[in-house]
Structure 1
Amino acid sequence: MEDLINIERESLKESSIHSLDGRVKLIITFIIIVFAVATQSITTLILMEIYLILLIFLSNVSPSYAIKRLILILPFGGFIALFQPFIRPGDVIWAGPFGFDITLQGIIFGALLLGKVTVSVTAVILLSSTTSMQELVGSARRIGVPSDFAMLLNLTVRYLFFFYDELERIRNAQKTRCFDIWNKNVPYRWRLRKVGETIAMMFLRAYEQGERVYLSMLSRGYTPESRMYTAASKIGRREVLFVAANIMILAVLHVMQTSLPVMK
Structure 2
Amino acid sequence: MSAIVSHRLHLPGTSPVHRVPAEVKIVCAVVAVFAVVATPREMFWPFAVYAAGVIVAWRSARIGLRWIAPRLLIELPFVVLAILLPFAAGEPRTTVLGLSLSTTGLYAAWGIIAKGTIGVAISLTVAATTSIRELPGGLSRLHVPAMIVVIVVLMLRYVDVIADEAARMRLARISRGDDPRTIRQIGATARGVGNLFLRSYERGERVHLAMLSRGFTGVITEYGAEPATPRQWVLGIVPAVAAICVCACALVVR
| Cα distance between partner residues in 2 of 1:103 and 1:174 | 45
1:215-256 CA-partner distances (Å, limit 9, x unpaired):
333334446xx433334522132442121x224422441353
Q: Distance between the aligned counterparts of 1:35 and 1:134, measured in 2?
A: 28
Equivalents in 2 of 1:250, 1:164: separation in Å? 35
Amino acid at match of 2:76: P
217, 220, 234: which is aligned to 2:227? 234
**TM-score normalised by L of structure 1:** 0.76
AA aligned to 1:76 is P
Shift in Å at residue 155 of structure 1?
2.4
The one-letter code matched in structure 1 to 2:65 is P
Structure 2 residue aligned with 1:181: 179
- Whether the 8 Å CA contact 1:42–1:112 is kept in 2: the answer is no
What TM-score do the two structures reach when normalised by structure 2? Answer: 0.79
**For the structure 1 residues 219 and 104, does the alpha-carbon distance in structure 2 shift closer, same or farther, using more than 3 Å as the test?**
closer
- C-alpha separation between the residues in 1 aligned to 2:22 and 2:219? 20
Give the equivalent residue in structure 1 for 2:48. Answer: 46
Corresponding residue SS for 1:18: helix
Q: Is the 8 A contact 1:8 1:133 kept in 2?
A: no
The structure having more radius of gyration, on CA atoms, is 1
User: Distance in 2 between the 1:67 and 1:173 partners?
Assistant: 30
Pairs within 5 Å for 1:197-212: 197-212=191-206
Q: CA deviation at 1:166?
A: 4.2
Which structure carries more relative contact order (alpha carbon 8 Å, separation 6+)? 2
How do 1:54-203 and structure 2 match up within 5 A?
Answer: 54-70=56-72, 72-94=73-95, 101-167=100-166, 170-171=169-170, 173-174=172-173, 178-181=176-179, 189=184, 191-203=185-197
> What amino acid is aligned across from residue 82 of structure 1 in structure 2?
I
Alignment partner of 2:69: what SS?
helix
Tell me: CA distance 1:7–1:137, structure 2 relative to 1, closer, same or farther (3 Å). farther
Amino-acid identity (%): 23
What's the counterpart of residue 14 of structure 1? 14
Q: Distance in 2 between matches of 1:233 and 1:21?
A: 8
Tell me how large the CA RMSD over aligned residues is.
3.3
Contact 2:38 2:247 in 1 (8 A): no
Alignment correspondent of 1:249: 242
Name the structure 2 match of 1:34.
34
Following TM superposition, by how much is the alpha carbon of 1:167 offset from its aligned partner in structure 2, in angstroms?
4.4
Q: 1:218 — aligned with what?
A: 212
